[in-house]
Amino acid sequence: MKLIHLFVLLVSFCSCHSHVKAQGDGPESHFKKPQKLWGLNLKYLNLSQNISVNGDILTPNLNLEINSLPITLFNVFSIKGQHAEVVAMINPTSITSTLDLPDLLKDRFFDKKGLSDGFIGLKIGMVNGRGISLEEYVKGGVSFTMMSYFRIWYSGSYDNDELVNIGTNRTTFEYGIPTTMSVWSKGNSSTNLELFPSIRFFTKNKDLLNNPISTSTVERIQAALFVFENHFIHNFDKKLRATLNGRYQVGGETTTDGSKDGNAFNNYGATLGLGYQFSPLIYLHVDYGGILFGEDEAKSNMFRLNLQLNYLSTKKN
Query: Nearest 5 degrees, angle CA 299-CA 305-CA 309?
Result: 140
Rounded alpha-carbon distances, angstroms, from residue 101 to 60, 61, 108, 215: 11, 8, 7, 15
Neighbours of 308 (CB within 10 A): 20
Q: According to DSSP H, which parts of 19-154 are helical?
A: 134-139
Instruction: Give me the torsion for CA of 56, 53, 153, 178, rounded to 10°.
Output: 60
> Is the distance from CB of 242 to CB of 273 less than 8 angstroms?
yes
Distance (Å, rounded) from C-alpha 123 to C-alpha 140?
A: 21
Distance (Å, rounded) from C-alpha 15 to C-alpha 27?
A: 22
Q: What is the pLDDT of residues 209-224, one digit of tens each?
A: 987 778 889 999 999 9
> Is the distance from CB of 311 to CB of 284 less than 8 angstroms?
no
Low-confidence residues of the chain, pLDDT below 70? Answer: 1-23, 103-107, 315-317
pLDDT at 4: 39
> Is the distance from CB of 108 to CB of 116 less than 8 angstroms?
no
The alpha carbon of residue 286 and the mean position of all alpha carbons in its chain are separated, in whole angstroms, by 14
Kind and range of the H or E run holding 117: strand 108-127
Q: What is the pLDDT of residues 240-267, one digit of tens each?
A: 999 999 999 999 999 999 999 999 999 9
* Residue-averaged pLDDT of the chain: 89
Smallest CA-to-CA distance from 302 within 62, 109, 24 is with: 24
| Domain spans, the chain | 2-310
pLDDT at 100: 84
From first CA to last CA, the distance across the chain in angstroms is 47
Topology at the third CATH level for domain 2-310: Lipocalin (2.40.128)
